[in-house]
Amino acid sequence: MAQTWHDLLFLHWPLAPGTLAPLVPRGLTLDTFGDRAWLGVVPFHMSGIHLRRWPACPGTSAFPEINVRTYVTHGGKPGVWFLSLDAGSRLAVAVARRWFHLPYYHSRMRVATTAAGVTYVSRRGDRRGPPASLVASYRPTGGVFRAAAGSLEAWLTARYCLYAQDRRGRLYRGEIDHAPWPLQPADADVTENSTTVAVGVRLPPEPPLSHFARRLEVRVWPPRRVAAGG
């Protein structure tokens, strides 16, 4: 599957590993940078979603998304573990839940991009999960840079797979491929955020580490079973 991601905001908070470890399933290892685990909230919007070699289907190929995530390893391979995902497409939610075994929820979402920045509003209406909302305005504040090897920015973003778990507790890995992130420092005004409370995590009072990425072309492969023990 191919898709394009637009106007991403990475918000990251450092947390004690014991805060996030209970939210990671058995078989995955919570990843840490130094002695801290990290929680991310990432709003963006997608376009051009289609099976490779097939054209995009009008009406189903573009929608906003928010993911709440932390970072894990399995067999030494670093990846992303999603605590929740909200999307503005009911079809995308249904497909992702069934095909990728990911905790997607449908939300009413609105994204506006202007010269001043991005305004993002999301309010979950899916009864399968607790209420969750995000209201934020954000913009880049500096030039594009590539995260240096070994840096925190690289550790947070250079993750080329996701992990998921089905209802029977079986683990899956979905491979992802894209160019290095074109990151920029960002300024974010978050006036409402209950996405982390909805997964049982209260954020520290310190402001998050914020990064912006304008656009990224992405390829995603179907998930494959992995052994629980790595």
Q: Each residue of 12-57: pLDDT tens digit? A: 999 999 999 999 999 999 999 999 999 999 999 999 876 655 454 5
Domains of the chain: 2-226 (2.40.400.10)
Minimal CA–CA distance to 36: which of 200, 208, 177?
208
* pLDDT value, residue 95: 87
Instruction: Give Cβ neighbours of residue 5 (< 8 Å, ≥ 6 apart).
Output: 44, 45, 46, 213, 215, 216, 218
* pLDDT value, residue 219: 94
* pLDDT value, residue 48: 84
* pLDDT value, residue 53: 56
Q: Each residue of 87-104: pLDDT tens digit? A: 999 988 998 899 899 999
* pLDDT value, residue 228: 76
Copy the structure tokens of residue 200: 């049982």
Q: Under a CB-based contact definition with an 8 Å cutoff, are residues 87 and 96 in contact?
A: yes
* pLDDT value, residue 230: 62
pTM of the model: 0.94
Which residues in the chain show pLDDT less than 70? 50-61, 229-230
